[in-house]
């Protein structure tokens, strides 16, 4: 091979060595070293570049797939495949590289379905301390206790004496 590591080209009275794609000719003019394409702008790869002897390859992180150009990464819409595994009554929302399972307000995600949240039991309601919290399907209501008036979130003491709704006996 004329002392060349890879390719020898004969010319009248001389010869020259060359290297295959992915290699560079050393200063000695005969040996070749691998080019690490990943050192130059990540080899053009959008996410992961892996150097190999004489070549390189691009790969994508979880949640992405390698584009036909071999360099770009396209988001996988996990929601397109069996609702992302979220369950029938759960909304699957695609996000770059991932997805999330979302329940309607008043519900929480539990494994593969949504369950109603009892805001009253959990103490996440916004009812007044002077109100009764009643759990409903996906929501709750607040009603002021007897002797209080308001919208349930705010309950003010009723002054039965001044508004004449008291049960007191009038003095004789």
CA angle (88, 93, 95) in 5-degree steps: 150
- The yes-or-no verdict on residue 129 having pLDDT over 90 is yes
The pLDDT value recorded for residue 171 is 66
pLDDT at 137: 85
**pLDDT tens digits, residue range 4-15?**
999 999 889 889
Mean pLDDT of the chain: 91
Distances (CA, A) of 140 to 16, 88, 113, 114: 85, 24, 21, 17
Q: Is the pLDDT of residue 117 over 70?
A: yes
pTM of the model: 0.59
What long-range pairs does 39-47 form, CB within 8 A, spacing at least 24? 43/71, 44/71, 45/71, 46/71, 46/72, 46/73, 47/73
pLDDT class for 76, splitting at 50, 70, 90? very high
pLDDT above 70 (res 120): yes
């Amino acid at each position: 091979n004329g002392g060349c590591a890879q390719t020898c080209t004969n010319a009248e009275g001389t010869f020259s060595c060359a290297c295959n794609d992915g290699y560079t000719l050393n200063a000695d003019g005969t040996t070749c070293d691998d080019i690490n394409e990943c050192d130059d702008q990540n080899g053009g790869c959008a996410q992961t570049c892996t150097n190999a002897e004489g070549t390189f390859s691009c790969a994508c992180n979880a949640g992405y797939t390698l584009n036909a150009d071999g360099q770009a990464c396209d988001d996988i819409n996990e929601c397109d495949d069996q609702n992302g595994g979220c369950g029938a009554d759960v909304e699957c929302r695609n996000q770059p590289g991932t997805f999330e399972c979302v329940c309607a307000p008043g519900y929480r995600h539990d494994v593969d379905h949504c369950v109603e949240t009892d805001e009253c039991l959990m103490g996440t309601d916004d009812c007044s301390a002077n109100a009764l919290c009643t759990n409903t399907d996906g929501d709750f209501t607040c009603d002021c206790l007897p002797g209080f008036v308001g919208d349930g979130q705010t309950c003010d003491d009723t002054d039965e004496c001044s508004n004449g709704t008291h049960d007191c006996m009038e003095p004789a």
